[in-house]
């Protein structure tokens, strides 16, 4: 099926194309729909407009695996413009694992290509009876048979599609076997990038959609060209400055820009000795030594072919990895070590199993933990040989065995494929205690620390992006030891939205009265968290990579140049308060969507064992204060006043109707706990 619709009589749009593709897979219907420019002004794009569509169109009780659930591939507002690093695809749907809104993202080349094809989003609804893929080539859009791609790897699928279309320049986002079999932590893979968290691949598989291939040859327009280019050139200049001036006194991955430079570095002392091994269990403080470093360096040097980038970004956060005897694949970030550490193995094993995992299309954070969790249950006698028939005796062999069972949903794999939270409940016999590293039913980074950090407590508790790296960044993770170092750090810290943040940092001490957990104070913690989160929400609306922005303390994109970039690029008048308001609107709308699905305060807690030293009273105080700061009530529900201020009256009307808010001042109605 193909449609061609000419455009006429529509107003010129800048940075965005002004069109979405609406695809109903149940009926095989394809429509090209002009979007409302007012929505761009309110929500900017990307995550913001994705959230608006999910709020408007998916009933709050919709099962993630139902035809009425939408799967949205949204580009950020600045994707496809010359803004460096604006290349993120924001994929949004409802997660089978958390049952909440999922909005994982991927870099790479897909989002700009979609813009050049003339669309801002692809919105998928319904379910195809047979496995299909989409081919979007400018105005020509086709639903094509994918039965021959069934069971094929994600990268393999992309290659086969490019070959059969004879379109080497097509960008392909695809699922592997895990997505087809609705594994709750299945990813969507796209060359060197993936949208991995929250099971987006499972929803794609449920819809019978194997891949979306895109090729575009149209223009993306800029509202005020000269001004916009000056801003882009400033960004590039600052990237070069930062390359020559790493931040002293912080761990290597925070000292330089980009997604953590895991593919470039050999020194893994920090990760291997501070992050936990196995099922987020053991810290191995003496692991790293010369011998390990030599061996791992050799592995890396022999398998890494090239450091590579996403579209229009000079940072090289990814790498092509060629493991002898296996197809080449691409890797980025911390997935380098997740399999290695979960299996107590080495880098050679990590690279080998990651190749298979990438083709299967699974999340590199959750998957190793699920497998380590299964082996813990086995060692504890909760899972027995009857559950694991034919499992090899060595740990590495067991990991391969488990991975295959999970992505095929065979035997115990069918249970494990639901992630540790649900699997533990299905298995019972005390298995729940082993699913210890979840927030909102989703596996977290394997990190266990000593002293509660109030800022991190709030970010872990209230984050709806599920991953700490998607919230943290702008403010240092810990205090610097000496005043001299702190003063040096704040000297050129112009990215802060307000100078008071510099003072908070100057006064923050490693020990004593002005130290964690009581300093930063509750009020300061609220402001710091709000700022960090705001920057991520701005990135996610604009499609700018956090590696050049919100993940870093001194990034080239910040609160002071974003408004001008939006104004000059998209022609939307914007200043800092307007941008803050738009980010708040998007953040509140995401919260509203999850509140409507039943999320409440009880869900907002970091893993019990995340810190050894916990402070229940302080934590309650932090949460109370933060909710209030955000304009939410003590269940975390946005109040009528807050919603009104953000132009979200339609949300409070809905909340009133459902009894989530009551009519007097929008105070909470009788809440049943989530």
Partner 1 sequence: MAENKKRIIKTIKIDVDKCNGCRACEVICSAFHAAPKYSGNNPERSRIRVIRDPLRDIYVPVYAGEYTAAECMGRDKYTIDGKEYDECGFCRASCPSRGLFKEPDSGLPLKCDMCEDDPPQEKPLCVQWCLNDALTYEEREEEAEEEVKLDEMETGLESLASKYGLQKVRDAVARMSMKD
Which residue ranges make up the site for partner 1 (CB under 8 A)? 80-82, 84, 109, 116, 155, 159, 168, 191-192, 216-222, 225-226, 228-229, 236, 239-240, 243, 305-314, 316, 320, 327-330
Comparing CB distances to partner 1, the nearer of 309 and 532 is 309
Comparing CB distances to partner 1, the nearer of 81 and 467 is 81
Q: Which two tokens stand for residue 608?
A: 């019990």
Comparing CB distances to partner 1, the nearer of 91 and 313 is 313
The minimum distance between CB 313 and partner 1, in angstroms, equals 5
Q: Identify the sign of the CA torsion 338, 339, 340, 344.
A: positive
Comparing CB distances to partner 1, the nearer of 47 and 235 is 235
Q: How far is CA 49 from the centre of its chain?
A: 17
Crossing angle between the packed helical segments 366-379 and 335-342, to the nearest 10 degrees? 0
Q: Report strand pairing: 19-24 vs 29-34.
A: antiparallel
Query: Which are the contacts of 263, defined by CB distance < 8 A and separation ≥ 6?
Result: 304, 307, 316, 317, 318, 319, 331, 332, 333, 336
Contact 520, 528 (CB under 8 A): yes
The minimum distance between CB 12 and partner 1, in angstroms, equals 11
Comparing CB distances to partner 1, the nearer of 130 and 219 is 219
Reduced to 3 states (helix: H, G, I; strand: E, B; else coil), residue 131 is coil
Contact 461, 603 (CB under 8 A): no
Look at the block and give the residue holding tokens 């598989």. Answer: 205
Taking CA atoms, 633 is separated from 454, 600, 617, in Å, by 20, 10, 18
Beta partners for residue 91, in sequence order: 73
The minimum distance between CB 232 and partner 1, in angstroms, equals 9
Comparing CB distances to partner 1, the nearer of 46 and 216 is 216
The minimum distance between CB 82 and partner 1, in angstroms, equals 5
Q: Identify the sign of the CA torsion 366, 369, 371, 374.
A: negative
The minimum distance between CB 430 and partner 1, in angstroms, equals 45
Comparing CB distances to partner 1, the nearer of 316 and 425 is 316
Annotate 261-284 with b (16+ C-beta within 10 A) or e (fewer).
bbbbbeebeebbeebbbbbbbeee
Comparing CB distances to partner 1, the nearer of 307 and 506 is 307
| DSSP 8-state symbol, 35 | P
The minimum distance between CB 495 and partner 1, in angstroms, equals 20
The minimum distance between CB 314 and partner 1, in angstroms, equals 4
The minimum distance between CB 38 and partner 1, in angstroms, equals 23
- In angstroms, what is the C-alpha Rg of the chain? 24
Comparing CB distances to partner 1, the nearer of 244 and 672 is 244
How far apart (Å, rounded) are the C-alpha atoms in residues 213 and 30? 15
Beta partners for residue 611, in sequence order: 449
Comparing CB distances to partner 1, the nearer of 53 and 105 is 105
Q: Identify the sign of the CA torsion 46, 230, 476, 249.
A: positive
Closest to 319 in 3D by CA, of 366, 354, 268? 354
The minimum distance between CB 286 and partner 1, in angstroms, equals 36
The minimum distance between CB 646 and partner 1, in angstroms, equals 33
């Amino acid at each position: 099926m193909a449609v061609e619709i000419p455009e006429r009589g529509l107003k010129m749009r800048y940075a965005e194309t002004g069109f979405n593709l609406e695809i109903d897979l149940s009926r095989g219907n394809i429509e090209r729909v002009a979007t409302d420019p007012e929505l761009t002004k309110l929500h900017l794009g990307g995550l913001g407009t994705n959230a608006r569509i999910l709020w408007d169109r998916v009933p709050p009780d919709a099962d993630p695996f139902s035809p009425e659930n939408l799967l949205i591939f949204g580009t950020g507002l600045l994707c496809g413009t010359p803004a460096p690093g604006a290349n993120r695809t924001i994929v949004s749907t409802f997660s089978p694992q958390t049952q909440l809104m999922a909005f994982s993202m991927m870099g790479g080349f897909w989002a700009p290509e979609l813009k050049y094809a003339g669309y801002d989003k692809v919105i998928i609804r319904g379910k195809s009876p047979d496995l299909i893929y989409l081919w979007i080539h400018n105005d020509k859009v086709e639903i094509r048979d994918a039965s021959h791609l069934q069971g094929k790897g994600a990268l393999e699928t992309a290659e086969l599609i490019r070959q059969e279309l004879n379109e080497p320049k097509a960008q392909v986002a695809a699922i592997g076997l895990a997505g087809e079999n609705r594994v709750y932590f299945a990813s969507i893979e796209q060359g060197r990038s993936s949208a991995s968290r929250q099971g987006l691949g499972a929803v794609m598989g449920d819809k019978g959609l194997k891949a979306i291939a895109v090729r575009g040859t149209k223009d993306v327009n800029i509202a005020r060209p000269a001004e916009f280019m000056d801003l882009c050139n400033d960004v590039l200049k600052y990237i070069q400055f930062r390359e020559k001036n790493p931040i002293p006194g912080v761990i290597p991955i925070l000292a330089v820009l980009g997604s953590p430079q895991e593919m470039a570095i050999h020194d893994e002392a920090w990760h291997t000795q501070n992050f936990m091994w196995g099922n987020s269990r053991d810290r191995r403080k003496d692991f790293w030594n010369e011998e390990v470093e030599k061996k791992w360096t050799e592995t890396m040097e022999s398998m890494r072919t090239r450091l590579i980038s996403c579209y229009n970004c000079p940072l090289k956060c990814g790498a092509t990895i060629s493991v002898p005897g296996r197809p080449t694949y691409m890797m980025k970030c911390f997935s380098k070590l997740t399999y290695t550490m979960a299996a107590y193995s080495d880098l050679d094993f990590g690279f080998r199993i990651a190749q298979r995992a990438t083709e299967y299309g699974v999340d590199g954070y959750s998957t190793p933990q699920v497998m380590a969790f299964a082996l813990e249950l086995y060692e504890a006698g909760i899972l027995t040989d009857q559950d694991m028939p034919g499992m090899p005796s060595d740990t590495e062999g067991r990991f391969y065995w488990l991975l295959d069972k999970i992505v095929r949903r065979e035997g115990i794999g069918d249970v494990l494929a639901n992630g540790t939270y649900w699997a533990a409940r299905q298995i019972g016999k005390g298995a729940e205690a082993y699913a210890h590293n979840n927030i909102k039913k989703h596996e977290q980074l394997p990190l266990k620390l000593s002293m509660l950090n109030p800022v991190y407590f709030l970010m872990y508790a209230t984050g709806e992006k599920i991953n700490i790296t998607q919230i943290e960044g702008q403010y240092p993770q810990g205090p610097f030891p000496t005043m001299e170092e702190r003063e040096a750090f704040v000297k050129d810290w112009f990215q802060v939205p307000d100078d008071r943040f510099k003072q908070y940092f100057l006064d923050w001490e490693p020990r004593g009265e002005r130290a964690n957990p009581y300093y930063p104070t509750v009020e300061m913690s609220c402001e710091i968290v709000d700022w960090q989160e705001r920057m991520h929400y701005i990135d996610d609306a604009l499609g700018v990579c956090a590696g050049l922005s919100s993940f870093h303390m001194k990034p080239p994109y910040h609160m002071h140049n974003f408004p001008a970039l939006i104004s000059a690029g998209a022609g939307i008048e914007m200043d800092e308060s307007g941008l803050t308001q738009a980010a708040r609107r998007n953040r509140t709308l995401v919260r509203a969507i999850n509140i409507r699905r039943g999320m409440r305060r009880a869900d907002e807690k970091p893993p019990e064992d995340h810190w050894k030293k916990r402070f229940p009273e302080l934590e309650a105080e932090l949460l109370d204060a933060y909710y209030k700061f955000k304009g939410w009530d003590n269940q975390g529900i946005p109040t009528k006043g807050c919603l009104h201020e953000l132009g979200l009256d339609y949300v409070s009307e809905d909340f009133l109707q459902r009894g989530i808010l009551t009519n007097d001042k929008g105070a909470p109605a009788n809440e049943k706990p989530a």
